[in-house]
Amino acid sequence: MEKRFIYADNAATTPVSEEVLAAMLPHFRTAYGNPSSIYKLGRDAQRDIETAREKVAAALGAQPAEIFFTSCGSESDNWALKGTAERLAKKGKKHIITSVFEHHAILHTCEYLEKQGYEVTYIPVSDKGLIDPEDVRKAIREDTALVSIMYANNEIGTIQPIEEIAAVCHEKGVLFHTDAVQAVGHVEIDVKKQGIDMLSLSGHKIHAQKGIGVLYVKKGIVLPNLIHGGGQERAKRAGTENVPAIVGLGVAIEAATRNIAEKAAVITPRRNRLIDGLLTIPYTRLNGDRDKRLPGNLNISFEGIEGESLLLMLDMNGICASSGSACTSGSLDPSHVLLSIGLKHEVAHGSLRLSIEEDVTDEDVDYILETVPKVVEKLRAMSPVWEKMMKGEKYE
Amino acid sequence: MMYSEKVLDHFSNPRNVGEIEDADGVGEIGNAKCGDIMKMYLKIDNGIITDAKFKTFGCGAAVATSSMATELIKGKSIDDALKLTNQAVVEALDGLPAVKIHCSVLAEQAVRSALSDYYTRQGIDPLPIVGEIHEPEE
């Protein structure tokens, strides 16, 4: 089969769509006014920001006044956690609950808060990569300020029982935040119906540009100001607005949430064909629950090989993918997510994450299914770990 | 992660991959938990390394440094092979990212481990000649 170029790493980032770029472009050269200016050029920019805010609110089932633009998902996570912690500490609530397999924007913020004297409980996840709402209930204390659980995991794509977790939190009078960076545009979200108090999202995962995010904060919840300065974002986050990015995000989220079910109907069968095809390779396992996962996500471990080598070789074959190996995580340890669902280090090193969208065709799926087994075989042929496995020897 | 062209070349077309059935010395270094294992096979004739092969479980740099190390010692005397430093491997590959330097250390230690095994098989204590083999820290 002829070499192709296949982008199968949409959980890392996505290209800016044509319609988003078209909406953004005027804001660089012609509609460049400062939204705080009084003349028409400025007022127009202000209006375009508010239109974008309405689109974001509509996509989440929120009110426009509950939407705050930030620079990225990590900023939104930081603001939600540190802001809530600071505010509720004054009421003697210095306990936060999260899970062991959150994104580092949550985990490292929690570690920081621990150093500031807060207590954090890290809820474990099942071997399928799911959180049990009952575990959240058991962890809630009198002094719990906030529960933060991700909507969908960034590596294994598992979708958490958000509505149930939110219900448990509200029963106990605790605020609930979710990092929905991976979920927006892929699953139906309604913050009111699902009882979400705060939600983080990121633009570049849904075909807007990098450097734009959102924090939804339910009306009535008051977070401390994140950036002090002018009156932007109702003085909560000062600084002249990134107008092109905000306008682009508005268009992007509208497009991403317009036809979630239709997209899933196209992507899911292709994703399932990838899972079934790759699982025919011996000594291979699927990581994360097969059904309760994002439509385009698959995460598979191949025993006896290492992930970075796998990615480099796939790249040479035109396939962009991701892994949870130590080499790609920037430390000696493989992904904390894969370890949290019970994988041994040596198995976690050999993981492959593909995150596809509709542009990955059935022919692309064929190509991936033809290429990956060859690459795995080549790497296993040069792997002393694989050699020992085949001889039935211990290799740890 | 910026790999040099040479690293990518040695990764995609690794030299001397495989095993030597009747090797005179075999060395293994690293552990699967950390994500890197190198196994090196040497054929030695009259103090000259006439053949070297390797198998590696690890990242692109681990494969490339193994490949380069075997190239650098093939045809050399044992004395020369013992002088192989990780720095020489790095230079021969036109450099490695800082976080990957440990791979070149593994390659150097894999060669020494195989030579150590060679001396042991000859009934000679390898320690005074080869020195200690350093396993990577977990």
Separation of CA A177 from chain center = 14
> Using a CB-CB distance cutoff of 8 angstroms, which residues of chain A are in contact with residue B54?
382
d(CA A201, CA A339): 25
pLDDT at site A332 = 65
Q: Which residues of B touch A382 (CB under 8 A)?
A: 14, 17-18, 54-56, 63
Q: Which among A320, A377, A383 is the top mutation candidate for probing chain B, defined by the most B β-carbons within 10 Å of its own β-carbon?
A: A383
pLDDT, tens only, A53-89: 999 999 999 999 999 999 999 999 999 999 999 999 9
Dist CA A183 CA A206 (whole Å): 10
Q: Confidence band (pLDDT; 50, 70, 90) for A301? A: very high
Contact A385 B37 (CB under 8 A): yes
pLDDT band (50, 70, 90) for residue A396: low
- The arithmetic mean of pLDDT across residues B51-80, rounded, is 97
In b/e form, how buried is each residue of A112-139, taking b as 16+ CB within 10 angstroms?
Answer: ebeeeebebbbbebeebbbbbbebbbeb
| CA nearest to A64, candidates A54, A74, A55 | A54
A127 phi and psi, to 5 degrees? Answer: -65, -10
Separation of alpha carbons A86 and A83, rounded Å: 5
In this predicted structure, which of A128-137, A319-328, B91-100 has the lowest mean pLDDT? Answer: A319-328
- Which alpha helices (H) appear in B2-136, and where do they start and end? 5-12, 60-73, 78-82, 86-92, 101-121, 127-130
- Which DSSP state fits A128? T
Q: How far is A270 from chain B (nearest CA, A)?
A: 29
Question: ipTM of this complex > 0.85?
Answer: yes
**Tokens representing A198?**
């705060």
- Packed helices B5-12 and A307-316: angle between N→C axes, nearest 10 degrees: 100
CA distance A277 to A134: 36
The pLDDT confidence band at residue B134, using thresholds 50, 70 and 90, is confident
The mean pLDDT value for A263-287 works out to 98
Q: Any idea how long chain B is? A: 138
Q: Transcribe A22-38 into DSSP letters.
A: HHHTHHHHTS---TT-S
Contacts of A384 in chain B (CB under 8 A): 28, 37-39, 55-57
Contact A221, A198 (CB under 8 A): yes
**Alpha carbon of A212: minimum distance to chain B alpha carbons (Å):** 25
Instruction: Say if the Cβ atoms of B32 and A326 lie within 8 Å.
Output: no
With an 8 Å Cβ cutoff, are A349 and B38 in contact? no
Contact A327, B36 (CB under 8 A): no
Q: Which residues of B are catalytic?
A: 34, 103
Nearest Cα of chain A lies from the Cα of B25 at a distance, in angstroms, of 16
Query: pLDDT by residue (tens digit) across A317-353?
Result: 999 999 987 666 566 678 999 999 999 998 999 999 9
Q: Would you state the pLDDT for residue B33?
A: 78
Which residue among B33, B60, B63 places its CB closest to the CB of A346? B33
Residues in chain A: 396
Residue A187 phi/psi, 5-degree rounding, is -135, 155
Distance separating alpha carbons of residues A132 and A125, to the nearest angstrom: 7
Contact call for A330 and B99, based on CB within 8 A? yes
Contact A330/B at CB under 8 A: yes
What is the pLDDT at residue A324?
A: 80
Predicted local distance difference test score (pLDDT) of residue B137 = 62
Domain over B5-121 is classified CATH 3.90.1010.10: yes
Which of B12, B32, B138 has its CB closest to that of A385? Answer: B32
User: What local confidence, expressed as pLDDT, does residue B32 receive?
Assistant: 79
Question: How many other β-carbons are positioned within 10 Å of the β-carbon of residue A331?
Answer: 11
- Say yes or no for a CB contact (<8 Å) between B57 and A383: yes
Secondary structure letter of residue A293 according to DSSP: B
> Residue type for A133, please?
P
- Are A309 and B11 inside 8 Å of each other by CB? yes
Q: Which pLDDT belongs to residue A234?
A: 96
A129 in Cβ contact with A289 (< 8 Å): yes
Please give, rounded to a whole number of angstroms, the shortest distance from the CA of A328 to a CA of chain B.
Answer: 9
State the pLDDT at residue A331: 65
Interface check A381 vs B, CB under 8 A: yes
| Nearest CB partner across the interface for A325, out of B8, B14, B35 | B35
Cβ neighbours of A326 in B, within 8 Å: 34-35
Q: What are the residue boundaries of the structural domains of chain B, listed by start?
A: 5-121
pLDDT recorded at residue B35: 84
Cα(A31)–Cα(A24) distance, integer angstroms: 10
User: Residue A2 pLDDT > 90, yes or no?
Assistant: no
For residue B38, the tally of other CB atoms under 10 A from its CB is: 27
- Per the CB < 8 Å rule, is A346 touching B99? no
Per-residue pLDDT reduced to its tens digit, A17-34: 999 999 999 999 999 999
| Among chain A residues, CA nearest to B16 | A382
* Average pLDDT rounded to a whole number, residues A221-226: 97
Residue A127 has pLDDT above 90, yes or no: yes
DSSP states along A155-197: TT-BBP-HHHHHHHHHHTT-EEEEE-TTTBTTB---HHHHT-S
In angstroms, the separation between the Cα of residue A24 and the nearest Cα of chain B is 31
Integer Cα distance of A126 and A138 in angstroms = 16
Interface test with B, best of A385, A387, A391, A396 (most B CBs within 10 A): A385
For B3-41, what is each residue's pLDDT tens digit? 999 999 999 999 999 999 999 999 999 987 778 999 999
Instruction: With CB atoms and an 8 Å threshold, state whether A306 touches B59.
Output: yes
β-sheet bridge partners, residue A146? A96, A175
**At residue B108, what is the residue type?**
E
In this prediction, residue A316 has a pLDDT band, given cuts at 50, 70 and 90, of very high
List the catalytic residues of A: 327
Cα–Cα distance for residue pair B97/A80, rounded to 1 Å: 36
Q: What does pLDDT average to over chain A?
A: 96
